[in-house]
Chain A
Amino acid sequence: MTTREMTGRVMLGLLMSLTATAPAAAWSYKEAAKPYAGQSITVLDEITPLQETMKTLVPDFVKETGIKVDYQLLNHFEVISKGQADMLSGRGAYDAVMVHSPQMGIVLQADVIRPIDDLLANKTLTNPELDLKDVIQPAWDSVAKFRGKTYGLLDWNYNVVYWARNDVLSHPDEKAAFKKRYNYDLAPAKTLQQMRDIAEFFTRKKGEKLGGETLESDFYGVVLEGIKGGTTFWTLWNAFIKNFGGDIFDRDGKPTIDRPENVAGVKLWAELWKFAPPGQAEYSLIDVPTVMGNGIAAQTLAWSDFVLGIDQPGKSKYAGKFVYAGSPANAKSPRTRSAETEPSIIVISKQSKRAEPTYLFLQWMVDKTTQKRFFETSKGAGVPIRESTWKQPELQQSRFAGLYEAMRDTLAHGRAKPKAPKIFEIMDVMSGIVQEIALGKKTAEQGLKEGQEKVMAICSKCTL
């Protein structure tokens, strides 16, 4: 090859690489938003510290694109009563509304949400570096995809982690006594059976010793959400029943409430109630972290975003003394491992006349740059939606590094709820029944048989 030929090839290569990279480098939210600058969109999201942090970043999007964003935050119930109602009624006050995965069955059946596949494929609108392969799975696919269509980008990734008192679990006296009694080492539970043993071991009365100190009040081996409604049954379903190989629907969507695997899962869950505070049946998902923060229970399964609010100096005197792990497996069936997660998306209403600018905003929310800034702003407090976020220094160097490891483990085994339009009615029936089982009013067999009859009366094919 002559020098001239070589120079020519190098030049050609340079030209090709420049041509190839030119569109990617040229893409910006500012350019993409030019046709929509000055338009206003209204987006409804749930209010938690995560969304409050996101809200502080929204002015950056407005400044860059010129699209005015009314990013409204309402509590969980109002998001459903206002946002979902707005879409179902066809009123169209909101361009986009946050939905939790159980709501997907309703909004899909009502055909009120817009698929975004055409927008994702639109090279003018979609950031070539959006990198959707980086989005955490199976969370995104299980919530947002249905019959070959995509209905949103993963916005929030709530998940339940195992949370325990490290100061008592690692105390030498307790470790020795536990080993003697159960014949294995005391450590954060990796299995539901270990969780049960730890619960039994640490349930103590006032005046007894705990970690070398005399208890001034009763101490409980475990605390779980137990209130009727809330996420009590979600957690029982995904963190217990499914770990036993059970499920509440079969592949065709027919209710299978009373199958033996479900009975086994419910029995273990109900057994844990023996080691829980007597008020557990009134504990909501907010009460559980409060009880842990008050230091009267050894371990729990709790929503990780609530943990972030409790394990803070000034919030709990046990801050820094907690340990975290992924939601436990079933020792007898580790392959069926399942965890409770609640991936959520912001969907574009079919009534929206501003789908493109709305899509730009939703894309911006999950963009790598925005997510990076989100965790920088929150000082490492959040729930990742991208795999790359786990490597971010704010998380790796955070004192919550252990919690993030736990979240990652849980998220690897959690899926969105099935798309069942009657799911809230089913949950309402079942949460009342399992509460009665836990309180000893019914056996697991009786309760689940009754549940099967009641759920069959609601729907015989429950999923879409």
Chain B
Amino acid sequence: MYLVSRRDGAGDEAGWFPYVLMAPALITLVVVALVPFLYTAYLSLHEMQYARVGNWAGFANYARLLTNARFWHSVGISAAFIAVAVPLEFGLGLLGALVLNQGVRCRSIIVPVLFVPSMMAPIVVAILWKIMLAGSWGLLSYNLLERFGILTGLSIFASPALALLALILIDVWQWTPFVMLALFAGLQSLPLMPYRAAAVDGATPLQTFRRLTLPLLAPLMAVIVLLRLIDAFKIFDTIFLLTAGGPGQATESLSLFTYKTVFDFWDLGTATATAVVIWVMFFLFSNAFYQVVKRKLRAF
């Protein structure tokens, strides 16, 4: 109402009111997000004596980080994790959502069950999958795979070739149902009129999906993909609990690298530089993602 008045040029005295309404959220955001980030950036430009701020170091911490092979290795692990896990979660989630949307039987039972994996605490997920895939006694690895002569005499989490794939599988298991439910909710909320019109025009199911469903769902899809990308990039708990980054450094993600740099090595200079680099990477990525989605999918 105030905004309407302002447009009419008759309510200038109330122009501050929307900002008052937004102020609590903005102040909270600044205090809990921006201030710590700025302080981290400040620390990253200083020599750190364990947890104490030393002299101005310029970009020395960044130079040390960017020439650290282990940092780039962990970037590669995180990228590989995202590149495989997120498309799989999205593809399977979309497929599942389309099936659910067809009015399958027992949907009222299936939907609540689908919530379970994404509601589980990471420690529970780790224990569950350790029971499933542990070498020499895992429910799946020993009783199924090994007994049928597949993957004999090795441990999945201890195999440099399989450990990362196993962690991706766990992520897919945990988050595909979430993607499925979110997309299913989106499908349920789509307007019926365009579909009726398409049916009258004789559109095939594939044409309807390509020309109607995908464009209408695009904004929701973009948000889901972005959320999953961010979440997959942050993967830490299950890796920490199941492989601790091993064998060797085969599953050391960027989050785990940062954790070790802080809490094992107490190299806060490198750790704060890593945090800033991650932030910049995310900022650039999110911006690029936003622009692409906005232009190509006309979302947002």
Using CB atoms and an 8 Å cutoff, list the residues of chain A in contact with chain B: 77, 80-81, 84-85, 88-90, 106, 110, 218, 220, 226-230, 277-282, 294, 296, 422, 424-425, 428, 431-433, 435-436, 439, 441
Contact = CB atoms under 8 A, between A and B. Distances in A.
Given A230-B244, A439-B247, A81 B158 contact: no
Contacts of A77: 263
A435 B264 contact: no
24 contacts: A89-B51, A89-B52, A90-B51, A110-B49, A228-B245, A228-B246, A229-B244, A229-B246, A278-B135, A279-B136, A279-B137, A279-B138, A279-B158, A281-B157, A422-B265, A424-B264, A425-B265, A428-B260, A432-B245, A432-B248, A435-B158, A435-B246, A436-B160, A439-B160
A-B interface, 7 closest residue pairs, ranked by CB to CB distance from nearest: A279-B135, A228-B246, A281-B158, A277-B136, A89-B51, A279-B155, A88-B51
Interface string B25-64: 0000000000000000000000001111000000000000
A68 to B, nearest CB: 28
Interface string B233-265: 000000000111111110000000000100111
For A90, A218, A424, A432, which residue has the most chain B Cβ atoms within 10 angstroms? A432
Contacts of A84: 266
Contacts of A226: 158
Contacts of B134: 279, 282
Contacts of A90: 51-52
B162 to A, nearest CB: 11
Interface of B: 49-52, 130, 134-138, 153-155, 157-160, 242-249, 260, 263-267
A279 B157 contact: yes
Contacts of B243: 227-228, 282
Contacts of A277: 135-137, 155
B250 to A, nearest CB: 9
Nearest to A103: B266
Nearest to A426: B265
A439 B130 CA distance: 19
Contacts of B130: 282
A364 B138 CA distance: 46
B107 to A, nearest CB: 39
B158 A278 contact: yes
A432 B245 CA distance: 9
Nearest to B262: A81
Nearest to B53: A89
A88 B265 contact: no
Nearest to A77: B263
Nearest to B138: A279
A351 B50 CA distance: 16
A89 B249 CA distance: 30
Contact of A432 (B153, B159, B247): B247
Given A84-B266, A435-B246, 20 more contacts: A85-B51, A106-B266, A226-B158, A227-B243, A229-B246, A277-B137, A278-B158, A279-B135, A279-B157, A280-B158, A281-B155, A282-B134, A282-B155, A424-B265, A432-B247, A432-B249, A435-B247, A436-B160, A439-B160, A441-B248
B245 A282 contact: no
Nearest to B70: A429
Contacts of B266: 84, 88, 106, 424
Contacts of B249: 432
Contacts of B245: 228-229, 432
A296 B142 CA distance: 14
* Secondary structure of the B contact surface, majority rule: loop
A256 to B, nearest CB: 21
B227 to A, nearest CB: 28
Contacts of A80: 263
Given A279-B137, A428-B260, A228 B247 contact: yes
Nearest to B157: A282
A419 to B, nearest CB: 15
A218 B160 CA distance: 24
Nearest to B241: A284
A432 B136 CA distance: 21
B131 to A, nearest CB: 12
B69 to A, nearest CB: 10
A439 B263 CA distance: 28
B240 to A, nearest CB: 9
B264 A294 contact: no
A80 to B, nearest CB: 6
Given A282-B155, A282-B242, A218 B136 contact: yes
Contacts of B153: 278
Contact of B244 (A106, A218, A228, A278): A228
For A220, A281, A435, which residue has the most chain B Cβ atoms within 10 angstroms? A281
Nearest to B160: A441
Given A280-B155, A428-B260, A294 B244 contact: no
A296 B138 CA distance: 13
B247 A281 contact: yes
Nearest to B134: A279
A226 B134 CA distance: 13
Contact of B154 (A110, A228, A278, A422): A278
Nearest to A218: B136
A82 to B, nearest CB: 10
Nearest to A434: B248
A435 B248 contact: yes
B134 to A, nearest CB: 5
Contacts of A81: 263
A278 B263 contact: no
Contacts of A220: 136
Given A279-B135, A280-B158, A282-B155, A227 B52 contact: no
A90 B49 CA distance: 12
Contacts of A227: 243-244, 246
Nearest to A91: B51
A106 B160 CA distance: 32
B51 A436 contact: no
Contacts of B138: 279
A106 B50 CA distance: 8
Given A89-B51, A281-B158, A432 B135 contact: no
A292 to B, nearest CB: 13
